[in-house]
Structure 1
Amino acid sequence: MAFEIERKFLVNELPPEIDRYPHSEIMQGYLMITDNDIEVRVRKRGGHCTHTVKSGSGLVRKEAEKEITEAEFFEHWPETEGKRVLKVRYDIDYEEFLIELDIYSGDLQGLVVAEVEFDSEEESSHFEPPKWFGEE
């Protein structure tokens, strides 16, 4: 199991010319979310499907992710009824980092979140977010 070091921010305003950045639709459904910070999900982004287990909370979390087939994704999809997220993800290069900007639809319409992953906690502490980021 690997560790994920990630900071998340609300987005106050979209960056200029948002559509020039690579983007794709994401279908994500949660198979399990526990009170002790364990979540199990399936995700389809384009033709790429994954099964992910995350545990912990805060800046550093444990993460185990494996690729699954599209058939396996749709086999699990009915189990996620009522626990689904639909969004468009934009991949934005910013300095030496990749910002993953998610614009949600459906029940979460209007929510816009940016995530940045880091190689170390020290690197995350030196990250200066762009002006269009909001509250962390």
Structure 2
Amino acid sequence: MAQEIERKFLVKSDAFKTEALAKMRITQGYLSSIPERTVRVRIKGEKGFLTIKGIGNESGASRYEWEKEIAVEEVNQLLKICEPGVIDKTRFNVKSGEHTFEVDEFYGDNEGLVVAEIELSSEDENFEKPSWLGEEVTGQVKYYNSMLMKTPYKNW
């Protein structure tokens, strides 16, 4: 268990793709998408995960997170009982100064949405902002993956 501190931004160009150190396809669904207890199952590359997140603090940058690796077959079974709407995306890891951004390019009903997240050790920690980084959307609930499955980007 850990407190997760991250900030989220829109991405204004695909220049990040040429800087990416790695990329991985991610498929995920939600057993519970209520903000107080988000329960997610995910296939990330060749591995499966079960993740539980608590509600965010006032700024939306910090919240409790617990994650455990589980078998991909178990994820596939759990996906069958998830709430409607599966998230499908490619995650690119892009180094910027001392930090690494996780940039998610969405598919399906969220096609066209590209979001970057950076994990920090404190909410006011400084970091290098690459040229492709756009508007900050930290704490804006509509950008949470658990909300994108309910109200996808194509419906905004």
Aligned residues: 133
User: Which segments of 5 or more consecutive residues in structure 1 lack a partner in the other structure?
Assistant: none
Report the AA paired with residue 52 of structure 1: T
Q: How far off is 1:61 after superposition?
A: 0.5
User: In the alignment, what sits opposite 2:22?
Assistant: 22
Report the AA paired with residue 100 of structure 1: E
SS in 1 for 2:134: coil
Answer with 74-83 or 18-27: which moved more: 18-27
Report the AA paired with residue 26 of structure 1: I
Confirm or deny: 8 A CA contact 2:9 2:115 kept in the other structure.
yes
User: In the alignment, what sits opposite 2:68?
Assistant: 66
SS in 2 for 1:130: coil
State, as a whole percentage, how many aligned pairs show the same letter.
41
Q: How far off is 1:81 after superposition?
A: 5.1
Alpha-carbon distance in 1 for matches of 2:128, 2:96 = 10
TM-score, normalising length: structure 1: 0.89
Q: How far off is 1:84 after superposition?
A: 1.1
SS in 2 for 1:127: coil
User: How well do the aligned residues superpose, as a CA RMSD in angstroms?
Assistant: 1.7
SS in 2 for 1:21: strand
Structure 1 residues 16 and 86 mapped into 2: Cα distance closer, same or farther (>3 Å)? closer
119, 124, 128: which is aligned to 1:117? 119
Alpha-carbon distance in 1 for matches of 2:92, 2:64 = 24
TM-score, normalising length: structure 2: 0.79
SS in 1 for 2:66: strand
Q: How far off is 1:88 after superposition?
A: 0.4
Confirm or deny: 8 A CA contact 2:10 2:134 kept in the other structure.
yes
Answer with 42-51 or 77-86: which moved more: 77-86
Report the AA paired with residue 21 of structure 2: Y
User: In the alignment, what sits opposite 1:79?
Assistant: 81
SS in 1 for 2:135: coil
Report the AA paired with residue 42 of structure 2: R
